[in-house]
């Protein structure tokens, strides 16, 4: 059996805090009613003190009220931290269950009081001896949950209901906590649940080991130091060379940017890289930011959030006739510009976010093709290119950013990203200035 205690006055924090009626109730349970078989008891914490409902063997119910927290109870032990000590509480409650009133006990002669205590002690001793002699029984399966965790005998339901609607309201949450196995927090349930393949083998999130045989291309001009590319394990990634970002009437134009600068700055270098990669039969991946027609893969924050462009210039809307809906797959403006258009056999990846690894399956594709090194070009440097490089870096891919094959609407942003990528020993990857140097290294690979 258990007695539920609280100390609202001293705000003592006991194990097991419940939210009851919108107010925090702090409760603690300790053993009591030893030697009183056949009795079932449920504690109800109230703002003023502790109420107890005791079901005895005759199915009679009694409501007992213990003194409010912070006051010394009558007939019980001393108060400690706003609650009874264990021994005093057991004695006090045993006396109440024996049917003797506090006034009768206080008026009883000292001799009779001593005899009564000796009888109780003898009774406890007999019960303990009897219990020791009986063979231990196997634990029974817990009864089915009823009334939010209360499982008294069937006939006691009516008795409990008669104590009033308020009593039932407060009894359920507290009885539920101590008469059942506590529910595990969601985080704990997740950790004990059956683990998925990716949880058991974190290696599947990382790049495969680079090829040790075959042609190798070295970039001596790369910073912070030279890097060697195993051609069997190297791919060229072209980020978002789409009309939405590089032509008037696209999304970049809707944001107020001069889109003509991007084409002039990075497309010539990208053409050089593509020609060299195709000649060496490297895996070539083209990405474009493209959402489904129903925009289910575009979150509200990105589509209609407080930082979005005004109406008429948002994702899924038409800014200029002939370009179609902004950033929607299948629209004319969502196609890759002609000078770096994909050819047969090259991968075109539609990504709903800034990073190419988000909701695309790119990591699985690269692992299946045995890729460990990535050469990057594309737009814009500080957004989609940088985000994808950082995603790749987290997954163990060696990344090389080709400076004259990437561009930004804001030149200082491009310069900042290049410096960040190669700083601190190449914290994100390598940079190399000229696409011609990369093409030369690929062609002369040995």
Q: Catalytic residue numbers?
A: 240, 351, 384
Query: Under a CB-based contact definition with an 8 Å cutoff, are residues 126 and 132 in contact?
Result: no
Give the number of C-alpha atoms closer than 13 A to the C-alpha of residue 52, restricted to the C-beta side: 26
- What tokens appear for 427 in the block? 């914290």
Query: Which H or E run contains 63?
Result: strand 61-66
Nearest in space to 28 (alpha carbons), one of 73, 86, 97, 79: 86
Task: Please count the other Cβ atoms lying within 10 Å of the Cβ belonging to residue 109.
Answer: 8
Taking CA 407 as the corner, what is the angle to CA 223 and CA 350, rounded to the nearest 5 degrees? 105
Burial (CB count within 10 angstroms: exposed 0-12, middle 13-18, buried 19+), residue 397: buried
Phi-psi map region of 14: left, alpha, beta (phi>0 left; psi -120 to 50 alpha): beta
The β-bridge relationship of strands 23-26 and 28-31 is unpaired
Euclidean distance between CA atoms 35 and 32, whole angstroms: 9
Rounded distance, CA 78 to CA 91, Å? 12
Long-range contacts of 17-25 (CB under 8 A, 24+ apart): 18/45, 18/173, 18/174, 18/177, 19/173, 20/45, 20/170, 20/173, 20/174, 21/169, 21/170, 23/47, 25/174
What's the rounded Cα separation, in Å, for the pair 261 and 247?
Answer: 10
Longest dimension (CA), the chain: 112
């Amino acid at each position: 059996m258990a007695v539920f205690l609280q100390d609202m006055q001293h705000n003592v924090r006991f194990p097991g805090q419940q939210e009851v009626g919108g107010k925090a109730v702090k409760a603690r349970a300790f053993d009591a009613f030893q030697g009183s078989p056949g009795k079932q008891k449920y504690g109800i914490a109230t703002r003023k003190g502790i109420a107890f409902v005791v079901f005895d063997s005759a199915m009679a119910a009694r409501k007992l009220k213990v003194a409010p927290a912070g006051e010394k109870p009558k007939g019980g032990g001393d108060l400690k931290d706003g609650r009874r000590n264990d021994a005093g509480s057991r004695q006090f409650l045993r006396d109440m269950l024996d049917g003797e009133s506090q006034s009768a006990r206080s008026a009883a002669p000292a001799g009779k009081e001593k005899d009564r205590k000796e009888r109780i002690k003898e009774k406890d001793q007999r019960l303990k001896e009897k219990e020791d002699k009986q063979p231990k029984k196997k634990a029974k399966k817990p009864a089915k949950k009823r009334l939010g965790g209360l499982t008294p005998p069937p006939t006691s339901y009516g008795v409990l209901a008669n104590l009033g609607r308020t009593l039932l309201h407060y009894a359920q949450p507290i009885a539920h906590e101590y008469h059942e196995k506590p529910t595990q927090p969601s985080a704990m349930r997740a950790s004990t649940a059956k683990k998925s393949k990716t949880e058991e083998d974190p290696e599947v999130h990382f790049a495969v080991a680079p090829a040790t045989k075959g042609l190798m291309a070295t970039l001596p001009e790369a910073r912070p130091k030279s890097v060697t590319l195993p051609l069997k394990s190297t791919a060229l990634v072209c980020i978002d060379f789409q009309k939405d970002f590089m032509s008037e009437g696209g999304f970049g134009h809707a944001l107020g940017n001069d889109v003509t600068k991007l084409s002039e700055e990075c497309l010539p270098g990208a053409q050089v890289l593509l020609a060299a990669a195709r000649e060496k039969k490297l895996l070539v991946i083209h990405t474009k930011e493209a959402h489904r027609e129903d925009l289910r893969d575009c979150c509200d924050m990105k589509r209609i959030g407080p930082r979005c462009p005004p109406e008429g210039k948002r994702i899924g809307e038409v800014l200029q006739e002939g370009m179609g809906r902004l950033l929607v797959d299948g629209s004319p403006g969502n196609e890759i510009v002609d000078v770096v258009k994909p050819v047969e056999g090259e991968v075109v990846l539609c990504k709903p976010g800034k990073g190419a690894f988000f909701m695309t399956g790119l990591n699985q594709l690269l692992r299946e093709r045995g890729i460990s090194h990535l050469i990057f070009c594309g737009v814009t440097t500080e957004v989609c290119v940088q985000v994808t490089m950082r995603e790749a870096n987290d997954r163990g891919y060696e990344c090389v950013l080709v400076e004259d094959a990437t561009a930004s609407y804001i030149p200082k942003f491009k310069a900042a990203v290049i410096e960040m990528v190669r700083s601190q020993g190449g914290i994100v990857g390598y940079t190399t200035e000229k696409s011609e140097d990369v093409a030369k290294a690929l062609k002369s690979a040995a």
